[in-house]
Amino acid sequence: AQSVTQPDIHITVSEGASLELRCNYSYGATPYLFWYVQSPGQGLQLLLKYFSGDTLVQGIKGFEAEFKRSQSSFNLRKPSVHWSDAAEYFCAVHPSNTGKLIFGQGTTLQVKP
């Protein structure tokens, strides 16, 4: 069955430090992968998505993610975190021929001043 795992439930980084959020997926075919961010009391906002081509994907707000098929991973990165990046981040896969997204459990990011 398709699944997404985000191993880190909670991460704390200092403002200005680099960030990497991990995501591993289980899916037999070419995955369609997404990262969403949810700020407190808000809906989910798409950061970036991958479906083919270049394995390094650029998104909004300075985020990028790298697809590694050999590791079944799609990790999210940012070179320098801002206090406004504090939020919950969700990795998701969209299985073929379905309408749904399958989400990981989410990673809560806290940013220290």
Partner 1 sequence: GAGVSQSPSNKVTEKGKDVELRCDPISGHTALYWYRQSLGQGLEFLIYFQGNSAPDKSGLPSDRFSAERTGGSVSTLTIQRTQQEDSAVYLCASSLGTGELETQYFGPGTRLLVL
Task: Write the CB contacts of 54 (distance below 8 Å, at least 6 apart in sequence).
Answer: none
DSSP code of residue 61: G
Distance, in Å, from the CA atom of 55 to the CA atom of 68, rounded to the nearest integer, reads 7
The answer to whether 34 and 46 are in contact (CB under 8 A) is yes
Residue 36 binds partner 1, judged by CB under 8 A: yes
- Segment near partner 1 (CB under 8 A); pick from 13-21, 41-49, 60-68, 76-84: 41-49
Instruction: Return the number of the residue (41 or 113) whose C-beta is nearest partner 1.
Output: 41
Q: Contacting partner 1 (CB under 8 A), which of 49, 62, 73, 108?
A: 49
CB of 68 to partner 1, least distance (A): 19
Among 21, 12, 14, 46, which residue's Cα sits nearest to residue 32? 46
Q: Which residues bind partner 1 (CB under 8 A)?
A: 32, 36, 41-46, 49, 51, 90, 94-96, 98-106
